[in-house]
Structure 1
Amino acid sequence: MTQIPLPIDEVLDDISRVLRTGNRLVLAAPPGAGKTTRVPLHLLNEDWVTGRILLLEPRRIAARMAAERMAASLGEKVGEAIGLSTRIDRRVSDRTRIEVITDGLFTRRLLNDPELSVVSAVLFDEFHERGLNLDLGLALGREVQEGLREDLRLIVMSATLDTARTAGALDAPIIESQGKMFPVETIYLGREQGDIAPQMERAIRRALREQSGSLLCFLPGQGEIRRVAERLGDVGPDIIVAPLYGALSPKEQDLAVSPAPKGARKIVLSTDIAESSLTIEGVTVVIDAGLARVPEFDPASSSQTLVTRRASLANVDQRRGRAGRTAPGVCYRLWEEPANRGLPPSPTPEILVSDLAGLVLSLAEWGVADPKSLSWIDAPPEGRVKAAKDELSALGAIDDEGRLTSRGRRMAARPLAPALSALIDAQETDEHRALAAEMAALLSEQGLGGRSSDLRERLSRFRQDRSPRAMALRRQAERWASGSPAPLSEAGSVLALALPGRIARRRGATPGDFLMANGRAARLDPHDPLANADWLAVAEIAGAAGHSRILTAIPLTEEVAFACGSPVTLEEAAFDPATGTLKAERVKRLGAIILHRTPLPAPKGELAVRAMVDAVRAHGLSLLPQYDVIRETLMRLDIAAQAQGSESPLSEVTLLERIEDCLPPLLGGKAKLDGFSPGELRHGLKALLDWETSQALDQFAPLSFRSPAGRDLPIDYLAEGGPQIEARVQEFYGLTNHPSIARGQVSLTVSLTSPAGRPVAVTKDLPGFWIGGYRDMAKDMRGRYPKHDWPDDPSTAKPHEGRTKARLSK
């Protein structure tokens, strides 16, 4: 089959040349350049390719279409030379030489076969999306390459040209394909508050009047796409409205991607899947809502949700470029042009904001307890790693040393998020495990079982669904747990037993207002059938903290909620920063849900200390009356560290992390935050340092400066303009070098006062002051204080503490 020339063809020989002698490469090519399909096929001709080429795709739809295009170019079907492996669709054979595989399955492949024994090259496509599994797969692939398979080629392919940082981290050369872009006119329509659907509808109708060609419209998610599609029901017989998102059937996806029939126009309503993963023929108009739906982890409730954010500048530029793929085009943007300056330059890598429980579980299976031992483009944040370990420990997946337990090994083997995998292992009978497996399969896929908020209804419809996707998932569920599932009436206890933090209680009389045991508030539409339930087991939630929406749940009786959530009665105390007092009460709670409370007398001892530690952690170190002592010590540590060319070991952030270690000893059981002196606090802070750092602190940033008159002057490290000392002018007589600390690297600000202690001059150059400003000051001082000495040359005079001439002569 004759292939149409594509921009990537111009650099294929360069790719071959680099990979014949090297084993890493970063390839930058804009959307539509042809890198996804042309590069793997080209590499098949290389002598070093003795095994299979793996092409990693972050999205199933992109994986399927890439496999189908490559197979069609060879005149074959998928499953022959070109294979496909996704969670629900596997078509490979002994003949397969290129296998298109989703990035999550690649991680599982690596864990099962660490040497990648039949693989010659791994291509990480769409790496600019910075999905969690892409970052994990690359980190593990690098370890395989460096420790076991030097001959393994790793090729990172990105649709953006900002690849220097990735190439630097990989120590890999960069090859760029410039692609071909037609001019695109940009029209800004402004942003309106509220639902984006009406504004998108108006923009589409305007574009249909003003432009020709098909339209590609970017919306953040399925809900917005459905609402816009419903509003376009009367758009006309010659216009096809085609939604495009991952949960659609292959037939529906193909309808969106294929060219419009002759004489017709198409309106493709897409998520960000069409930014770079797919090429849609005939599109010359883009309408961009400027929004993206991204996963975000909430440490307060230890849960991850999808939140809507403004898309990055790199994202919206890629979307705009889709209008100029085959001809000059137009891009309508639903915001004002000045708002571009406030857009983040690029999308935040998922590894920095997502729930890392799945990543940490995979690393534990790999045998890595500390992620820092691997090489990353962006290392996972320590705080999120700790939260992930805490979650996995609570689920019984890892032990105290971070090693996999037998339950963790079973959980890791399933292509599920750890919480969903734990849903199965938490059950005690085969029937409940089978029901949990069905629930996990359903919850792991969007768009199955209808749109009801009641998970039982969705499960019932899922069981009757005969689509290939639903049938494949049911077969998976049967492999995870054998036997007949328990009745749907027991689904609530199955969910609540495995995820007790998701048990929710209705708050007050307002329908749909709930508080979950993990502390997160969430809402249902007041008219939802579940809105008046007293108790729920929440399966899915979306939105940022404070604006969370319950997507699916199961009603519970109070008896079941208590049985699964195990309420406890505790004595608790809280510190009120406004009044500076402590209050105590006996509380019966199910997690964050308060069931009953009884006031108690003012707390003492450990209970009081715990309340004050919690208060400081919640409100910050400024809550402490001696906060300035902390600021002073941190400033001194910074000066000492800079003088030695190192970094300070403490900051307000690290102190808050260690507040439980340093505050209780200072309090000594006292029920007051001001129960210790500044000196005790300084001593407590120094106790957090090693001996060498403690010595350096006093050496490079002492608390006082010895004046020429022999008096120790306290150094004010918090003074405006830097560390400062203050004393009468006479104390500095005879000084020819300006006072300094840190072995002369930091000059002290010197505040000179009159014999009455009033400031008369401030200088950072005392020798210069003696021959300059001092003369005018001394003239004035001789008139005011004639009994004190004001020598013509203070640099040679004898220093003293400001005594009068008469006292000096004695």
Structure 2
Amino acid sequence: MPSPTFPITPLLPDIVRSLSDHPRLVLEAPPGAGKTTQVPLALLDEPWLQGRKVVMLEPRRVAARAAAGFMARQRGEAVGGTVGYRIRFENKVGPDTRIEVVTEGILTRMIQDDPMLEGVGAILFDEFHERHLAGDLGLALALDVQAQLREDLRIVVMSATLDGEKLARFLDAPRLSSEGRGFPVQVAHFPARRDEAIEVQARRAIEHAVLTHPGDVLVFLPGQREIARVEAMLSPSPAGRGVGERANEGRDGSGSKAALAPHPPSGHLLPRGEGKDDFIVLALHGELPVEKQSKALQPDPQGRRRVVLATNVAESSVTLPGVRVVVDSGLAREPSYDPNSGFSRLEVTHISQASADQRAGRAGRVAEGWAYRLWPQSQRLDPQRRPEIALVELGALALELAAWGSDDLRFVDAPPPGAMNAARDLLRRLGALTASNAITPLGKRMLALGTHPRLAAMLLSADEGEDRALACDLAALVEARDPLRMGGDALAARWRALAAFRNGRAPQDANRSGLAAIDAAAKQWRRRVRETTAPPASVEAHRLGDVLMHAFPDRIGFQHPQDARRYLLANGRSARLFDDSALVGEPWIVVSELRHEARDALVQRAAPVDERCLRRDFADRFVTEDSVRWDASRRALSAQRESRFDQIVFDARPAGRVDPALAAAALTDAVRDLGLDALPWPESLRQWRERVRCLRDWMPDLGLPDLSDDALMATLDDWLQPAFAGKTRLDALGEDDLANALKSGLDWSLRQRIDVLAPTRITVPSGMERRIEYAHGQPPVLAVKLQELFGLADTPRVADGRVPVLLHLLSPGGKPLQVTSDLRNFWNSTYAEVKKEMKGRYPKHPWPDDPWSAQATHRAKPRGT
């Protein structure tokens, strides 16, 4: 195959030169520039590569196969020679492979299994703008390997639409850009009709494109379901007319070609052979067999025009020849965390402006093109796609980081702390992490299974045989959409519908295509775990729960003793059943899906659990112990002997003597709930605390502790709990107890230094001691009568002379006259006016013309003077 010239070709020497001088590079190139296939080939013979591999991360399987195939053809080889690929369940690499195109999960496993990356000289991250979680993790791991183990490893981040400047700063890397090559694309917004489904609107736009413009038509739709619907609409009827044509008849009274307006259209798909070239309709998405994907990526052998119905897999990295028109729904299915199920699920969302521009650009690859957008022109899109790390559940990420042995990785966008804490809490319940967040042997086995930690824990907990097959069924069921139209909240009803489908008698209210997809997914799960036993034909409902509880140990529920429809959950929350739930009366259940509401969550899918199995499999979570808690309504401690499963208290009886250690912890928890104001703060202690906080800012070299509200609340167990030793009431803590507790972290010499550097009182020229008030973030305040400062030139200072006090100068009657931190300037500029105004009002007090030499006093003038 002759080497074609790509827009990226002139930039290849600069790319090679940059990587010779610097181990990282950010490369920006628009779709069609050739970066995906030309950059890896250009690096093969570089001296720094030393015969090692170039690994390129390609987010999508379709693109990975296509890129590897194109590069192999350029070299006149078959895939698996110099160029190969590895994706889930498919491996086409050989002993001579030097360029390996891999999908995201594969790269993570490569780095985890071999941190030295023996035999790998460069990692290329293609289409990084898609910001998949696995891609962000892969980059973070590669950067850590480069920093700690392999300084010679090259890392290239490539994309068509990303903030290259920001990414280059993050990576401390050079940035190169290719202009690309494209033709003008005319963009128009194709209006929807009232209450029109997106598939119908897309069909009308396709009909218009086929009749109005030359070339192939590329249609972006959210997913397989929408593709199938549009494909059905475009299929020819037995009478030779398109479904779209019949659907439009009567709308404008004609049904003829003349009804087509140039823009916006109202049209009909022409029957084949009626004055237009024949065309074919093709689908393109990641679940298609390889041969069908390849067909969509190649020109039609018979020269017919093509209408390609694609997901966002066609947005980048793959080339569709001959496309002149793009019809863009503006929608995509992206992963989003569903708190109801605890999983990330694909949801239909609006694309970003960057994606819309990239999709439109597909129409201008070979000649001038047209793009029809199926959303109003007034609708504003987000500039860039939000990273998955901010949107999805992070259990898998937390497990990967635990396996890596370090959280100190550099992410382009850091994982949200709240989501990471929730993920680690779940992993501890699943047995994947220890209390110190180290990975367990079970966690390593879960990671090797390569699926969500919940499902991995369930699959690994099941014994060989029918239980493992049931676990595979349940994994498919909890990930799928509900196959029953009106099925209530019993998961058993879904499984029985699946079992009936396998026997050819699915319930009437079941979605047969949905059950077929679930059955196929269950078979795939069985292949993955190497289970050959077929699922049973029937089971008791609790047997499903006995398996499912290993995926949802945090959602095991115990029936509330006073409310049969309410359940206490192992994670400390509560949930309720529907009024007509089939689960009413079950003592224990496990919930696979619930809807969070203001008070109790609503159970949407659940199964009963056999308590004997629960006690067998989770024996360590059943405990009986004394508990002391703060009763807010009584403002007193409550001591009980509790039997608990995790955070579910299923039996509680009054306890006798209160354990002092438990009492101290409970009183500390009371302060945690009530706040610091529940403690007995004398004014002197409040001022001492403010003095310490001020000195911490003024003199950081002292190393004083942080006594802010947040810091004290965060460390209650350290400084306050010991003060509650031997106490059973909150008001038993006295002012001296609190003062000793607060000062416990400072030694005697440091306390003395505080008194010297931030004194509570100061002697003024009148010979009297006056109080200094401290407030964090403000200057210290000295309120004093003006006559007491006669003869004092400079403002008093604290903190070893670093901080002047703020003088509140008072009249003889104690009223404010002036506020100043510059006493010298006051005597020189303002005193004369104050004296003139006050002398008549307070004639018995001295108002000398020269305050510098006057005698300071706190008294009135002697009689007769």
787-796 or 669-678, which deviates more: 669-678
Aligned-pair identity (%) = 34
CA contact (8 A) 1:276 1:318 kept: no
Letter in structure 2 aligned against 1:502: R
Whole-angstrom CA distance in 1 between matches of 2:602 and 2:296: 30
Per the TM alignment, residue 714 of structure 1 is displaced from its structure 2 partner at its CA by 3.4
Whole-angstrom CA distance in 2 between matches of 1:483 and 1:600: 51
Letter in structure 1 aligned against 2:11: V
Specify the SS of the correspondent of 1:771. Answer: helix
Letter in structure 2 aligned against 1:438: C
Equivalence for 2:101: 100
Letter in structure 1 aligned against 2:18: V
Unaligned runs of 5+ in 1: none
Per the TM alignment, residue 21 of structure 1 is displaced from its structure 2 partner at its CA by 3.3
Whole-angstrom CA distance in 2 between matches of 1:808 and 1:416: 98
The question of 1:537 aligning with 2:608 is answered: no
CA contact (8 A) 1:422 1:498 kept: yes
CA contact (8 A) 2:327 2:372 kept: yes
The question of 1:319 aligning with 2:353 is answered: no
Superposition pairs of residues 36-51 of structure 1, within 5 angstroms = 36-49=36-49, 50-51=51-52
Whole-angstrom CA distance in 2 between matches of 1:646 and 1:60: 59
Superposition pairs of residues 173-192 of structure 1, within 5 angstroms = 173-179=174-180, 182=184
The question of 1:803 aligning with 2:859 is answered: yes
Equivalence for 1:371: 407
2:386 is aligned, of 342, 347, 355, to 347
Check 1:324–1:133 CA distance in 2 against 1; reply closer, same or farther (3 A cut): closer
Provide, for residues 645-685 of structure 1, a one-character-per-residue CA deviation record: whole Å limited to 9, x for no partner.
99997465554443332332344454666665677656645
1:475 is aligned, of 514, 527, 552, to 527
TM-score, length basis structure 1: 0.75
Per the TM alignment, residue 466 of structure 1 is displaced from its structure 2 partner at its CA by 11
Whole-angstrom CA distance in 1 between matches of 2:377 and 2:703: 43
The question of 1:706 aligning with 2:762 is answered: yes
Check 1:410–1:803 CA distance in 2 against 1; reply closer, same or farther (3 A cut): same
CA contact (8 A) 1:307 1:544 kept: no
Specify the SS of the correspondent of 1:41. Answer: helix
Per the TM alignment, residue 382 of structure 1 is displaced from its structure 2 partner at its CA by 6.8
Specify the SS of the correspondent of 2:449. Answer: coil
1:752 is aligned, of 809, 816, 820, to 809
Equivalence for 1:141: 142
TM-score, length basis structure 2: 0.71
- Output the aligned Cα RMSD: 5.6
Specify the SS of the correspondent of 1:117. Answer: coil
CA contact (8 A) 1:621 1:652 kept: yes
Equivalence for 2:274: none
63-72 or 19-28, which deviates more: 63-72
Check 1:776–1:257 CA distance in 2 against 1; reply closer, same or farther (3 A cut): farther
- Count of residues in Structure 1 that have an aligned counterpart in Structure 2: 783
Provide, for residues 741-786 of structure 1, a one-character-per-residue CA deviation record: whole Å limited to 9, x for no partner.
5566655443333344333333344433333444443444333433
The question of 1:66 aligning with 2:64 is answered: no
Per the TM alignment, residue 592 of structure 1 is displaced from its structure 2 partner at its CA by 4.8
1:284 is aligned, of 319, 326, 337, to 326
Provide, for residues 35-82 of structure 1, a one-character-per-residue CA deviation record: whole Å limited to 9, x for no partner.
223322332343444122111133444434433444455565543433
The question of 1:8 aligning with 2:8 is answered: yes
Letter in structure 2 aligned against 1:477: V
CA contact (8 A) 2:191 2:374 kept: yes
Whole-angstrom CA distance in 2 between matches of 1:223 and 1:808: 105
Letter in structure 2 aligned against 1:36: T
Specify the SS of the correspondent of 2:18. Answer: helix
Per the TM alignment, residue 254 of structure 1 is displaced from its structure 2 partner at its CA by 6.8
Whole-angstrom CA distance in 1 between matches of 2:100 and 2:538: 39
Check 1:168–1:607 CA distance in 2 against 1; reply closer, same or farther (3 A cut): same
Superposition pairs of residues 527-676 of structure 1, within 5 angstroms = 536-539=589-592, 553-557=606-610, 575=630, 590-593=645-648, 595=650, 606-607=661-662, 609-614=664-669, 617=672, 633=689, 637=693, 640-641=696-697, 644=700, 650=706, 653-668=710-725, 670=727, 676=733
66-75 or 618-627, which deviates more: 618-627
Check 1:469–1:152 CA distance in 2 against 1; reply closer, same or farther (3 A cut): farther
CA contact (8 A) 1:135 1:377 kept: yes
Equivalence for 2:26: 26
Whole-angstrom CA distance in 2 between matches of 1:238 and 1:631: 83
CA contact (8 A) 2:129 2:162 kept: no
Per the TM alignment, residue 155 of structure 1 is displaced from its structure 2 partner at its CA by 1.4
Provide, for residues 286-345 of structure 1, a one-character-per-residue CA deviation record: whole Å limited to 9, x for no partner.
34369964348x8xx996655979879xx43333442234235454557966x77xx697
Equivalence for 2:773: 715
Whole-angstrom CA distance in 1 between matches of 2:864 and 2:633: 54
Equivalence for 1:763: 820
Whole-angstrom CA distance in 1 between matches of 2:702 and 2:717: 26
Whole-angstrom CA distance in 2 between matches of 1:691 and 1:249: 77
Check 1:121–1:470 CA distance in 2 against 1; reply closer, same or farther (3 A cut): farther
Specify the SS of the correspondent of 1:13. Answer: helix
Per the TM alignment, residue 501 of structure 1 is displaced from its structure 2 partner at its CA by 1.4
1:420 is aligned, of 455, 459, 479, to 455
Per the TM alignment, residue 123 of structure 1 is displaced from its structure 2 partner at its CA by 0.9
The question of 1:88 aligning with 2:89 is answered: yes
Equivalence for 1:126: 127
Whole-angstrom CA distance in 2 between matches of 1:509 and 1:259: 69
Check 1:539–1:328 CA distance in 2 against 1; reply closer, same or farther (3 A cut): same
CA contact (8 A) 2:396 2:453 kept: yes
Whole-angstrom CA distance in 2 between matches of 1:309 and 1:464: 22
Whole-angstrom CA distance in 2 between matches of 1:619 and 1:228: 60
379-388 or 761-770, which deviates more: 379-388
Letter in structure 1 aligned against 2:609: L
Whole-angstrom CA distance in 1 between matches of 2:751 and 2:292: 67
534-543 or 408-417, which deviates more: 534-543
Superposition pairs of residues 152-163 of structure 1, within 5 angstroms = 152-163=153-164
Provide, for residues 276-295 of structure 1, a one-character-per-residue CA deviation record: whole Å limited to 9, x for no partner.
56666555343436996434
Check 1:151–1:667 CA distance in 2 against 1; reply closer, same or farther (3 A cut): same
Specify the SS of the correspondent of 2:840. Answer: helix
Per the TM alignment, residue 101 of structure 1 is displaced from its structure 2 partner at its CA by 1.3
Letter in structure 2 aligned against 1:317: A
CA contact (8 A) 1:432 1:494 kept: no
CA contact (8 A) 1:161 1:176 kept: no
598-607 or 49-58, which deviates more: 598-607
CA contact (8 A) 2:82 2:96 kept: yes
102-111 or 39-48, which deviates more: 39-48
CA contact (8 A) 2:644 2:650 kept: yes
631-640 or 488-497, which deviates more: 631-640
Equivalence for 1:438: 472
CA contact (8 A) 1:434 1:482 kept: no
Unaligned runs of 5+ in 2: 236-242, 246-267, 271-279, 503-514
1:495 is aligned, of 534, 543, 548, to 548
Whole-angstrom CA distance in 2 between matches of 1:116 and 1:390: 31
Letter in structure 2 aligned against 1:316: Q
Check 1:691–1:110 CA distance in 2 against 1; reply closer, same or farther (3 A cut): farther
Per the TM alignment, residue 503 of structure 1 is displaced from its structure 2 partner at its CA by 1.8
CA contact (8 A) 1:733 1:795 kept: yes
Whole-angstrom CA distance in 2 between matches of 1:247 and 1:448: 20
Per the TM alignment, residue 477 of structure 1 is displaced from its structure 2 partner at its CA by 0.5
Whole-angstrom CA distance in 1 between matches of 2:748 and 2:438: 34
Whole-angstrom CA distance in 1 between matches of 2:190 and 2:749: 60
Whole-angstrom CA distance in 1 between matches of 2:856 and 2:439: 71
